[in-house]
Structure 1
Amino acid sequence: MAIRRALAALGLVLATVATAHAGEIRVMPINDHVFAFYDGRPAESSVNMAKATWADHGANFVGVATYAVIDGSEALVYDTYPSVTQAQFVRDYLAKRGVRHFIVANSHWHLDHVGGNAVYADSSVIATEKTRAQLIRHKPKIKDGTLQGPPAISPFKVPEVGITEPTTVSVGRYSVELRPVNIHSADGLVAWLPQDRLLLAGDTLEDTLTFIAEPESLAEQYRNLGEMKSWSPTGILPNHGDPAIIAKGGYTTALIDMTRHYIRAMAEHAHDKDFAIQPIERFIPAELKAGTVSLWWAYREAHHENLQKLATYYKNKPLSDFGP
């Protein structure tokens, strides 16, 4: 299936070559039509953990990026941050560059990726049908702040368009292929830019490591990551990663290899007696040494949660078969 959006192209908007700063959000031109907007990743010493919310633990502390593909008056925005305030910055920035027509794609249903959807009340928002179902189901609790605790997201917009198979969206002269994937969560949606061979990866990949949201499908996710590597991207742009690497054009496929290694090693050792106390370094030593990823402080909490999830999931189950 392909949904084609062909809006009037008024000429290419050229990006500045330097990273711009406005408040907390950094604007990073990847090339002349792809932009990253990056917020968060504060030093550990600067945060007050007692006041941290779901948005801090899941996004702001690890660092959070959203992306835009633009051409003239058109833009596709990939994810909308945890908050309306952050999303409004992105929309205002693009509007100042002459964008008047927006399409939004949500990578999956987790709140740090959809919190600013209401900023695009006048625009189409696309997600997988599984994302739509989750957000419709949870909308009352999202709006009153009881799903994950405060802050509540209100107003909140559920995507109007749900897809179940690869879907192509046109942004002026550029094509964006929205590809459903079961990686990280069953409702995942990555964006493939064939003309650039860039992959907007959502939460399918992260630096330092992936949040294991759905341990029951890790073996399938492992295989799907292998399939994603076969696309041979020249740059991978995750929503949570090192801003310095994102600003330089993204990660190599070594990030995919690292993620596969991490989830497989975690699952295969879930029955170890000392599993629950093993540090990150136990599972990805080679990748840390090679600099494929860096050890960011906020991911120690994520790793601890991953250990707990897998220990609980595999407690009375055989370990998953990942194959050769």
Structure 2
Amino acid sequence: MATKTFASTGDLGEKTITFAELGRGAYAFTAEGDPNTGVIVGDDAVMVLDTQATPKMAQKVIAEIRKVTDKPIKYILLTHYHAVRVLGAAAYGAENIIASQRTYELIVERGQQDWESEFGRFPRLFEGHESIKSLTWPNIVVDGKLTVDLGNQRVEIWNPGRGHTQGDTIAWLPDQKVLYSGDLVEFGATPYTGDAHLRDWPETLQRLRELKPEKLVPGRGDALMNAADCETAMAETQAFLTDLYQTAREGVEKDMALKDIYALCKQRMDPKYGHWVIYEHCMPFDVARAVDEAKGLDRPNIWTAERDQEMWSALNG
């Protein structure tokens, strides 16, 4: 049974930060299942992948970067556009903000609504929200692939297909086989699928699996330090998405109400995934999108604070 308020509104505890080194110039800023930030350091410049939700929270990332390099932070890569990932960008003073063409389209279409919706859902992740002055806009938009040389550090950037959003963008260090996946891959954390393309996402993950990464920074969860753990994370993310969509589609085919499909998904998925981080927070939004897609809605509905509450009310009868 769903609770009367978002599970995330009661998530107030401080998380322990880890700044892990995956290889030469490759780092991951993680915090016990909170959104991860990637850092890539070259001889000439630094690239930050996903910026945290506010400029105040971004200062924690900058403090860790300055422990390992004094090189300028010249690039930010938005792996996709969700407020918790991007609204801290102003703190870095980067010359270039990179995003995919499909991500740019989402900012235009729903950037403001996303900010307002996410802030209401998960207030702890927006510490210092008053420091956010505007949406984050890219000045380099990628349609296809882009290679950035940070100085003896080649970063390949591409949008491998629709998944967590239509515009997910990964960074790949081919010389070290290090993958920064954004929220296309999670590890011990529940995929959020409210803006997802659930039929496409497993195929997109298959393209990442074919890279055979040996290190991986997921969207949430610990940095992965060997090929076996990378494969496990990608396979487990695929399994969650498949179970979710197949169960939702079954409910739609039986003409079940959203509330009943949610109960069916929880019954089947709790034993496998219920221990994952933010599971109770994500599942209502995940099931709502899975039902929409199973009914034929290709482009996800825009989440607003009002729609969040309408969905919550429907699940609670």
Q: TM-score surpassing 0.5? A: yes
Contact 1:184/1:211 (<8 A) preserved: yes
Q: Residue type matched to 2:151 in 1?
A: G
Alignment of 1:1-324 (within 5 A): 25-39=17-31, 41=32, 62-96=33-67, 97-138=69-110, 146-149=116-119, 151=129, 153-181=132-160, 182-206=162-186, 207-214=188-195, 217-241=197-221, 243=222, 246=223, 248=225, 251-270=229-248, 271-272=250-251, 275-278=261-264, 282-283=268-269, 295-314=275-294
Normalized per residue, the structure richer in strand is: 1
**What is the CA distance between 1:278 and its match in structure 2?**
3.8
Label 1:131 to 1:25 Cα distance change in 2 as closer, same or farther (>3 A). Answer: same
Query: How far off is 1:309 after superposition?
Result: 2.8
RMSD: 3.0
CA contact (8 A) 1:28 1:247 kept: no
**Correspondence for 1:57:** none
- SS of residue paired to 1:72: coil
Letter in 2 for 1:98: D
2:30 touches 2:37 (CA, 8 Å); kept in 1?
yes
Native 8 Å contact 2:189 2:277 kept in 1: no
User: How many angstroms apart in 1 are the aligned matches of 2:181 and 2:24?
Assistant: 20
In structure 2, what is the Cα distance between the partners aligned to 1:205 and 1:123?
A: 28
Decide whether aligned partners of structure 1 residues 149 and 209 sit closer, same or farther in structure 2, where only a CA change above 3 A counts. Answer: closer
Shift of 1:219: 1.8
Conservation of the 8 A alpha-carbon contact between 1:138 and 1:147:
no
CA distance in structure 2 between the aligned counterparts of 1:180 and 1:239, rounded to whole angstroms: 15
Matches of 1:316 and 1:140, distance apart in 2: 26
| One-letter amino acid of the counterpart of residue 93, structure 1 | E
> Against the structure 1 CA distance between its residues 37 and 253, is the aligned structure 2 distance closer, same or farther, given a 3 Å change threshold?
same
Q: CA offsets per residue over residues 11-67 of structure 1, 9 Å max, x none?
A: xxxxxxxxxxxx95332222241111123x4xxxxxxxxxxxxxxxxxxxx422101
- Count of aligned residue pairs for this structure pair: 263
**2:307 aligned residue:** none
Structure 1: gaps of 5 or more residues: 1-22, 42-61, 318-324
Deviation at 1:136, TM superposition (A): 3.9
1:210 is paired with a residue whose SS is coil
Question: CA-to-partner distance for each residue in 1:109-146, whole Å, 9 max, x for gaps?
Answer: 1111111111233421101122223224456667xx64
Q: Shift of the alpha carbon at 1:256?
A: 1.7
Separation of aligned partners in 2, 1:140 and 1:305:
19
Instruction: Tell me how far apart the structure 2 counterparts of residues 156 and 220 of structure 1 sit (CA, whole Å).
Output: 28
Can you list the C-alpha shifts for 1:48-104, whole angstroms capped at 9, x where unaligned?
xxxxxxxxxxxxxx4221011112341111110111112123234324522124211
How many Å apart are 1:156 and its aligned residue?
Answer: 4.2
SS at match of 2:238: helix
More helix by share: 2
* CA apart distance, 1:169: 0.8
Identity of aligned residues (%): 19
Task: Sort the Cα spacing of 1:65 and 1:294 in 2 relative to 1 into closer, same or farther, 3 A.
Answer: farther
Task: Find the aligned partners of 1:221 and 1:81 in 2 and give their Cα distance.
Answer: 24
Q: Assess if the C-alpha contact under 8 Å between 1:73 and 1:99 holds in 2.
A: yes
Q: Quick one: distance in 2 between partners of 1:263 and 1:84?
A: 32
Q: What letter corresponds to residue 70 of structure 1 in structure 2?
A: V
Preserved CA contact (<8 Å) 2:198 2:290: no
Q: Please give the secondary structure, in 1, of the residue aligned with 2:290.
A: helix
